[in-house]
């Protein structure tokens, strides 16, 4: 499996995907992805993962940019496979750490007491200027985390969707790219049916995403959705039924 | 719910039925009208005025009597012309009119009424389902059209909806007129911008610039940027500053700006800008005048002058008062064995020498432990070091202090996280291949450098000299050895020892080991600090 994929490069702006898995997950092919955006010698790291992959990712990032030039590190949510290495990244860079305001009070548990390093995102998201372009933080709350965001890069038109779009064990994950949506669909269904809170949230997220022109969806687990597959994914995701719709089955008794 | 008056009944018979139903509040013709519904309708409509226009004399008389039961002021007319005259004289809120009438029909009258008051609520009754009449009614903005014979629940529903809309409009008018009042009676100058350009400005703003109206203001200043004067350390500090980009991308953030009034006197303002959601390109800019604190020279003076001012408590108090007045969130910094503890705070009281600051519980614990703290803000030219803690109140979460001064160098400006190491750290320093003394005490350590004590310095040992460091660090798992070249960056002579700082660039595994050590040490120090929180 490739562990580095160039997603976009126009000579000024570059997006790279790393696929570094900690050993625990390797056998299960959880297919974890981390992302880096670079423009004019300034970088944004997205969902850098747990402490177990910190060293490997630090080296991988260093091949593209001096880590001291990382301006922001974005954590889509608080899970350990996303934010487990906050302490290491806070020591090794001077980057601002962007996370939902819901999780700032937990930063001490991740090894950081300096709130001056944190950019706390309001629930409705926000936008930051990055070089000549912008990064848009799109609310993705309860999909699955209650304080969760996707990140849209206006230059590459890539949507870094966090856990949305994750697929575990799909054969499509081998080349990190979906080229047969129907083959991939069962693996999407098993993950999203159990992890997403409910259809209303899925629809709300799709509505927010459709405001932007999306060329590619890059999830934190699994494979990339390019062009028509991205559109297919959005249409499919709109109909996803999550925890709310399966409440009775999940709890095993009539509610 | 089926609740009809007899459909076959003629128009003439209708008002009597309604009247009976409304008056007697009981079942009639198979229709139950809840008395509570009618009471509610009376409560909703009582304070409004109603005009009823109907050419059928009998019908008009009875219906007017009916409406008087639920509305205080009822006017009645028998054709459109008379209706329009009554409307012009009394301006009722609600008009109920028939469509087909002599002299002037209901639609022509309605059109004329809506020209006088576009908010008037006109309900038209018509004897037949005429699409053309419906379309015309819609086009001119009639509130609703009811087809005769009227269904009682439709009339009640329409009048209820009508009253709710009138109330909403009334509230909106109060809100808008009061907003206007607030806008003009703010001490702050307020401006509505569309991109760079001023669209509206409140009265204090117009007075400040000595202009009579917003039109004059707009003619004189094409862009708000034209008002800004260059000032060192301020939002606009050179003519290439993209001031608008800066404020637009930092909504709610506070900036220092300098602006001249109509008599060319310079004023120091705190500027903040807030975009208006869903109105792209529009934003509200507020300016808070803090000129009387005399802080302008602090930002634009020579180094010597700045140092003098930095020591001047009055000047620093002025800065803190500026932060209080503008409601600025400022950063409060503490260190616990190098671990940076930073949270927001706000100045809530400035009285004589005493300052009261509100901040988080964790921060107060840091202050209690260190007995001092630092304040930083984009508004301040330097960090402010605060000591002489008089009181820490954990219940309203505030700290009172009486000594404060600005400092050029503070721990808030550290480029790398520095931590006090554990006792097992071992450092050996080699200078010109000779080992310096044993048992060196390491004060703190980071990815970029190390601070330690020496009791004596070898000859020729000065700044920028090269040394070799052998460092043994212990984590819970294993000892880690780091061997690196370093440069002497600082030597401070203390009473009984020297304090040195050496800087280095670590690579490869040494770099990883140091990151790992500092990160884990942070966790240990956090646990230690949290332990302190449980102590009284």
Residue A213 near chain B (CB below 8 Å): no
What pLDDT score does B27 carry? 38
Most A CBs within 10 Å, among B251, B519, B523, to test the A interface: B519
Q: Would you state the structure tokens that stand for residue A176, as one six-digit string?
A: 């990190």
Antiparallel, parallel or unpaired: β B330-336 and B339-351: antiparallel
Residue (of B289, B287, B307) closest to B297 by Cα position: B307
Residue B498: which residues within 8 A CB-CB, separation 6 or more?
B453, B454, B455, B456, B457, B491, B492
Nearest alpha carbon to residue B198 among B262, B256, B282, B278: B282
Beta carbons of A113 and B341 less than 8 Å apart: yes
Q: Do B331 and A92 touch (CB under 8 A)?
A: no
**Is the backbone peptide bond immediately before B149 cis, with ω within 30 degrees of 0?**
yes
pLDDT for residue B10 = 39
A5 and A218 Cβ atoms separated by less than 8 Å: no
Name the token pair of B530.
């949290």
Taken in order A123, B194, B225, B258, is the CA torsion positive or negative? Answer: negative
Angle at B226 between CA B222 and CA B232, to 5 degrees: 165
Closest CA to A221 of A56, A79, A37, A60: A79
The whole-number pLDDT of residue B150 equals: 76
Tokens of B532: 């302190």
Q: Is A115 on the interface with B (CB under 8 A)?
A: yes
What is d(CA A250, CA B111) in angstroms, rounded to the nearest whole number?
Answer: 61
* Mutation site, B411, B413, B526, interface A, largest A CB count within 10 A: B526
Q: Do A88 and B519 touch (CB under 8 A)?
A: yes
- All structural domains of chain B: 11-169 (3.40.50.2300), 189-289 (3.30.450.20), 307-413 (2.40.10), 426-530 (2.40.10.220)
Output the pLDDT for position B200. Answer: 86
How far apart (Å, rounded) are the C-alpha atoms in residues A46 and A33? 9
- Measured between CA atoms, the residue of chain A closest to residue B445 is A91
Half-sphere exposure of A71 (CA within 13 A, CB side): 13
Chain B residues whose beta carbon lies within 8 Å of the beta carbon of residue A92: 447, 511, 515
Smallest CA–CA distance from A117 into chain B, residue: B342
Whether the bond between A144 and the residue before it is cis, its omega within 30 degrees of 0, is yes
The answer as to whether A141 is a domain residue is yes
Instruction: Determine, yes or no, domain membership for A250.
Output: no
Nearest by CB to residue A90, choosing from B341, B417, B520, is B417
Q: Do A58 and B512 touch (CB under 8 A)?
A: yes
The string over A197-229, giving b where at least 16 C-beta atoms fall within 10 Å of a residue's C-beta and e elsewhere, is bbbebbeebbebbeeeebbbbbbbbbbbbbeeb
B residues 430-469 lying closer than 8 A (beta carbon) to A: 447
Residue A157 belongs to domain with CATH number:
3.60.15.10
Q: What is the four-CA torsion angle of A123, A128, A134, A136, rounded to 10 degrees?
A: -10
Q: Are A71 and A77 in contact (CB under 8 A)?
A: no
A108 interfacial to chain B (CB closer than 8 Å):
yes
Q: Is B40 on the interface with A (CB under 8 A)?
A: no
How close is the nearest chain A Cα to the Cα of B177, in Å? 30
Q: Which among B249, B362, B515 has CB closest to A91?
A: B515
If we measure between CA atoms, which residue out of B332, B320, B388, B335 comes closest to residue B360? B332
Q: How far apart are CA B484 and CA B507, in angstroms?
A: 9
Encode B212-248: b = buried (16+ Cβ within 10 Å), e = exposed. eebeebeeebeebeebbeebeebbbbeeeeebbeebb
Q: Which residues of chain A have a CB within 8 Å of the CB of B340?
A: 113-114, 116
Has residue A252 been placed in a domain?
Answer: no
Distances (CA, A) of B51 to A144, B42, B76: 58, 16, 6
A254 lies in a domain?
no
Closest B-chain CA to A134: B249
User: Residue B283 phi/psi, 5° resolution?
Assistant: -160, 160
Helix axes B131-140, B106-116, angle to 10 degrees: 10
Q: How many domains does chain A have?
A: 1
Interchain contact A96–B (C-beta under 8 A): no
Long-range CB contacts (< 8 A, 24+ apart) of B398-401? B398/B348, B398/B356, B398/B357, B398/B358, B398/B359, B398/B364, B399/B356, B399/B357, B399/B359, B399/B364, B399/B367, B399/B373, B400/B354, B400/B355, B400/B356, B400/B357, B401/B354, B401/B355, B401/B357
Write down the pLDDT at residue A23: 58
Q: Which domain holds residue A114?
A: 4-243
State whether A58 and B515 contact (CB < 8 Å).
yes
Dihedral over Cα of A195, A198, A204, A210: its sign: positive
Cβ of residue B522 closer than 8 Å to a chain A Cβ: yes
Other beta carbons within 10 angstroms of residue B416's beta carbon come to 17
For chain B, list residues with pLDDT below 70: 1-35, 278, 301, 303-304, 306-307, 309-310, 476-477, 533-536
Closest CA to A60 of A72, A73, A48: A48
- Asked if residue A9 belongs to a domain, the reply is yes
Cα distances (Å, whole numbers) of residue B21 to A177, B96, B201, B215: 72, 19, 56, 59
CB atoms within 10 A of CB B157: 15
Q: Does B391 touch chain A if contact means CB atoms closer than 8 Å?
A: no
B 52-91 near A (Cβ less than 8 A) = none
Domain annotation covers residue A49: yes
CB within 8 Å: B362 and A114:
no
Which residues 51-90 of A are in CB contact (within 8 Å) with B?
54-55, 58, 87-88, 90
Kindly state whether A114 is in contact with chain B, defined as any CB-CB distance less than 8 angstroms. yes
Is residue A248, in this structure, part of any structural domain at all?
Answer: no
Per-residue pLDDT of chain A (255 residues; tens, 9 = 90+): 568 999 999 999 999 999 997 655 555 556 789 999 999 999 999 999 999 999 999 999 999 999 999 999 999 999 999 999 999 999 999 999 999 999 998 998 999 999 999 999 999 999 888 887 999 999 999 999 999 999 999 999 999 999 999 997 777 777 789 999 999 999 999 899 999 999 999 999 999 999 999 999 999 998 999 999 999 999 999 999 999 999 989 998 765
Tokens 């050179």 found at: B238
User: How close does chain A come to B522, measured CA to CA in Å?
Assistant: 6
pLDDT of residue B35: 66
Residue contact B342–A90, C-beta within 8 A: no
Quote the tokens at residue A221. 């687990």
In a domain, A221, yes or no: yes
For residue B331, give the nearest of A90, A91, A116 by CB distance.
A116
């Amino acid at each position: 499996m490739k562990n580095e994929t160039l997603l976009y490069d126009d000579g000024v702006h570059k997006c790279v995907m790393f696929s570094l898995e900690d050993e625990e997950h390797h056998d299960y092919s959880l297919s974890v992805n981390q992302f880096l955006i670079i423009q004019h010698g300034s970088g944004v790291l997205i969902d850098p993962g747990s402490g177990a992959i910190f060293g490997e990712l630090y080296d991988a990032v260093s091949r593209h940019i001096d880590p001291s030039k990382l301006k922001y590190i974005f954590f889509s949510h608080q899970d350990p496979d996303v934010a487990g290495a906050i302490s290491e990244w806070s020591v090794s860079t001077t980057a601002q750490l962007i996370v939902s305001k819901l999780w700032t009070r937990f930063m001490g548990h991740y090894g950081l007491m300096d709130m001056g390093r944190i950019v706390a995102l309001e629930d409705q998201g926000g936008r930051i200027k990055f070089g000549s372009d912008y990064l848009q933080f799109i609310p993705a709350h309860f999909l699955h985390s209650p304080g969760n965001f996707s990140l849209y890069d206006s230059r590459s038109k890539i949507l870094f969707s966090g856990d949305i779009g994750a697929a575990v064990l799909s054969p499509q994950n081998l080349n990190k790219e979906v080229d047969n949506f129907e083959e991939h669909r069962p693996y999407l269904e098993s993950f999203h049916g159990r992890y997403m809170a409910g259809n209303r949230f899925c629809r709300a997220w799709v509505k927010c995403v459709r405001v932007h022109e999306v060329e590619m969806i890059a999830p934190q687990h699994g494979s990339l959705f390019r062009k028509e597959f991205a559109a297919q994914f959005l249409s499919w995701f709109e109909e996803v039924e999550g925890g709310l719709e399966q409440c009775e089955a999940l709890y095993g008794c009539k509610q | 719910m089926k609740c009809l008056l007899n459909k076959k009944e003629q128009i003439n018979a209708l008002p009597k039925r309604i009247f009976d139903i409304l008056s007697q509040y009981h079942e009639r013709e198979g229709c139950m009208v809840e008395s509570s519904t009618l009471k509610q309708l009376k409560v909703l409509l009582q304070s409004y005025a109603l005009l009823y226009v109907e050419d059928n004399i009998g019908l008009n008389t009875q219906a007017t009597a009916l409406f008087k039961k639920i509305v205080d002021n009822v006017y009645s007319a028998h054709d459109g012309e008379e209706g329009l005259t009554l409307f012009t004289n009394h301006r009722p809120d609600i008009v109920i009119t028939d469509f087909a009438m002599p002299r002037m029909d209901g639609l022509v009258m309605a059109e004329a009424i809506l020209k006088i008051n576009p908010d008037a609520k006109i309900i038209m009754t018509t004897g037949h389902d005429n699409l053309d009449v419906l379309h015309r009614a819609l086009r001119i903005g009639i509130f609703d059209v009811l087809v005769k014979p009227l269904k009682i629940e439709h009339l009640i529903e329409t009048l209820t909806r009508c009253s709710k809309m009138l109330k909403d409009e009334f509230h909106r008018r109060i809100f808008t007129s009061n907003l206007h009042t607030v806008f003009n009676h703010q001490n702050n100058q307020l401006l509505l911008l569309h991109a760079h350009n001023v669209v509206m400005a409140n009265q204090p703003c117009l007075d400040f610039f000595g202009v009579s109206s917003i039109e004059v203001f707009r003619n004189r200043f094409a862009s708000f940027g034209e008002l800004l004067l260059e000032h060192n350390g301020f939002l606009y500090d050179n003519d290439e500053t993209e001031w608008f980009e800066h404020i637009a991308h930092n909504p709610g953030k506070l900036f220092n700006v300098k602006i001249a009034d109509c008599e060319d006197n310079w004023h120091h303002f705190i500027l903040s800008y807030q975009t208006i959601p869903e109105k792209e390109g529009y934003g509200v800019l507020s300016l808070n005048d803090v000129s009387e604190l005399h802080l302008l020279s602090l930002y634009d003076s020579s180094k010597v002058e700045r140092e003098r001012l930095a020591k001047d408590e009055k000047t620093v108090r002025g800065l803190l008062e500026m932060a209080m007045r503008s409601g600025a969130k400022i950063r409060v910094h503490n260190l616990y064995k190098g671990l940076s503890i930073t949270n927001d705070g706000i100045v809530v009281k400035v009285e004589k020498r005493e300052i009261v600051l509100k901040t988080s519980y964790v921060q107060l614990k840091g202050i209690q432990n260190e007995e001092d703290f630092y304040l930083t803000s984009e508004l301040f030219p330097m960090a402010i070091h605060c000591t002489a803690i008089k009181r820490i109140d954990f219940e309203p979460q505030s700290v009172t202090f009486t000594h404060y001064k600005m400092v050029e160098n503070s721990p808030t400006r550290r480029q790398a996280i520095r931590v006090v190491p554990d006792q097992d750290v071992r450092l050996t320093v080699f200078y010109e291949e000779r080992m310096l003394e044993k048992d060196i005490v390491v004060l703190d350590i980071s990815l970029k450098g190390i601070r330690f004590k020496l009791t004596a310095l070898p000859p020729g040992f000065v700044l920028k000299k090269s040394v070799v460091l052998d460092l043994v660090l212990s984590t819970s798992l294993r000892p880690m050895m780091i061997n690196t070249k370093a440069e002497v960056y600082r030597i401070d002579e203390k009473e009984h020892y020297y304090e040195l700082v050496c800087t280095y660039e670590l690579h490869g595994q040494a770099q990883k080991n140091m990151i790992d050590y500092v990160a884990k040490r942070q966790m240990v120090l956090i646990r230690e600090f949290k332990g302190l929180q449980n102590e009284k």
